[in-house]
Amino acid sequence: MSSSVQLKIRKNIPLAPLTTFKIGGSAKFFIEVKTKSELKEAIAFAKKNKENIYIIGGGSNLLVNDSGVNGLVIKLSNNSVKISKNALSAGAGAKLADALKAAAEKGLAGLEWTAGIPRATIGGAVRGNAGAFGKSMDENVNNVEIYDLKKNKFIKLTRAECRFKYRESIFKEKEDYLIWEVKLELKKDLPEKIKNRIMDNLKLRKSTPGFPSAGSVFKNLSLAEIKKANPELAEKLIQTGVVKRGAVGAGLIIDKTLDLKGKTIGKAKISEEHGNFIVNTGGASADDVVTLISYIKQQARDNLGIELQEEIQYLGF
């Protein structure tokens, strides 16, 4: 009997509905995979047909090209969340929100900062080392099981091997590393205290813009880099008390210093609520967003000597 799984590869699947931005074209090929054997078969299909492989998680940090993605887009649906003592193991496709809920119910602390991040998966959050309120994903990672597309096998990386930095990891450097499962180490705490921290963080979270977005477009800036590029601006920011944990929010620079709030290109607009969010006001194209991003970067460069870097990830460009 053949052990091969029945592949459900589909053609020309619109990707916009799978993203929080609701922007972009279709995937030439698309598959959702739940098991390791399905993943291996999907990869074998792509390799046999010389198609590039792309991964999509919750689509909450993604801008998909208007002309779509020319290859096989794999959506990971391995979404189990298991808890044993202080360890939480989650499939890369598990929602951050489900991991937080499971942990909180068992009196395990560490993920409270994730409260209110919509649709994000564990895989996407580990790749981008997501974070908020001075906390980030790497603090709780014990190890990450990946599929190495070059070596064609599953391997485990320790936290140190993941080379986490602010919104960075080895997974952004190595496109052939596909995150499959993540083991987190959490700390015991009283469920009531965990619940209170979740509620506090939800209150602190700025009101989410009423239009589709992909979260923060740019990384925050370290005070050290602003000082180097523009000492005068650094001094002003220190004086106004907006430096937090040695960093300044990119939104603050865009909104207050560059005064770009509300700037619109096509149907893409810098959010009125949050200077670091670009919103799709209805029918925005990826091209509108890319042009607006370039405009913001140019304004920051020309007026402040500052180089903004995207946090948002591009698919199919």
Ligand X SMILES: Cc1cc2nc3c(=O)[nH]c(=O)nc-3n(C[C@H](O)[C@H](O)[C@H](O)COP(=O)(O)OP(=O)(O)OC[C@H]3O[C@@H](n4cnc5c(N)ncnc54)[C@H](O)[C@@H]3O)c2cc1C
The residue range among 2-10, 122-130, 193-201, 284-292 that interacts with ligand X, by the rule CB under 6 A, is: 122-130
* Residue in 42, 56, 243, 293 binding ligand X, rule: CB under 6 A: 56
Q: Which is nearer to ligand X, 68 or 215 (CB)?
A: 215
- The reply on whether position 243 binds ligand X by CB under 6 A is no
- The reply on whether position 130 binds ligand X by CB under 6 A is yes
Q: What are the DSSP calls for 223-243, one per residue?
A: HHHHHHH-HHHHHHHHHTT--
167 is catalytic: yes
- The reply on whether position 143 binds ligand X by CB under 6 A is no
Neighbours of 113 (CB within 10 A): 22
Distance between alpha carbon 270 and the CA centroid of its chain, in Å? Answer: 19
Site for ligand X, residues 201 to 220, rule: CB under 6 A: 208, 213-215
Supply 167's token pair: 């919104």
HSE, side-chain direction, 13 A CA sphere, residue 214: 31
* Residue in 13, 15, 16, 20 binding ligand X, rule: CB under 6 A: 20
Q: Is the distance from CB of 73 to CB of 15 less than 8 angstroms?
A: yes
Amino acid at 11: K
Q: In angstroms, what is the minimal distance from the CB of 251 to ligand X?
A: 12
The residue range among 2-10, 100-108, 130-138, 150-158 that interacts with ligand X, by the rule CB under 6 A, is: 130-138
Cα distances from 25 to residues 66, 206, 312, in angstroms, run: 5, 30, 17
Q: In angstroms, what is the minimal distance from the CB of 73 to ligand X?
A: 9
Amino acid at 219: K
Q: Which residues are CB-contacts of 102 (< 8 A; sequence separation ≥ 6)?
A: 81, 83, 88
- The reply on whether position 89 binds ligand X by CB under 6 A is no
Distance between alpha carbon 239 and the CA centroid of its chain, in Å? Answer: 32
Q: Which is nearer to ligand X, 64 or 186 (CB)?
A: 64
Supply 253's token pair: 């620079």
311 is catalytic: yes
Q: In angstroms, what is the minimal distance from the CB of 219 to ligand X?
A: 10
Q: In angstroms, what is the minimal distance from the CB of 240 to ligand X?
A: 23
Q: Which is nearer to ligand X, 117 or 306 (CB)?
A: 117
Backbone angles phi, psi at 212, to 5 degrees: -60, 140
Catalytic residue, chosen from 38, 41, 112, 311, is 311
Site size toward ligand X (CB under 6 A) is: 32
CA distance 76 to 252: 35
Cα distances from 243 to residues 53, 217, 228, 250, 270, in angstroms, run: 40, 19, 15, 11, 22
Catalytic residue, chosen from 26, 89, 216, 285, is 216
Q: Is the distance from CB of 294 to CB of 199 less than 8 angstroms?
A: no
Q: Which is nearer to ligand X, 99 or 186 (CB)?
A: 99
* Residue in 118, 191, 231, 283 binding ligand X, rule: CB under 6 A: 118
* Residue in 46, 62, 97, 141 binding ligand X, rule: CB under 6 A: 62
Q: In angstroms, what is the minimal distance from the CB of 23 to ligand X?
A: 12
Catalytic residue numbers read: 167, 216, 311
Q: Can you give the binding site for ligand X, defined by CB under 6 A?
A: 20, 55-62, 76, 92, 117-121, 123-125, 127-128, 130-132, 171, 178-179, 208, 213-215, 313
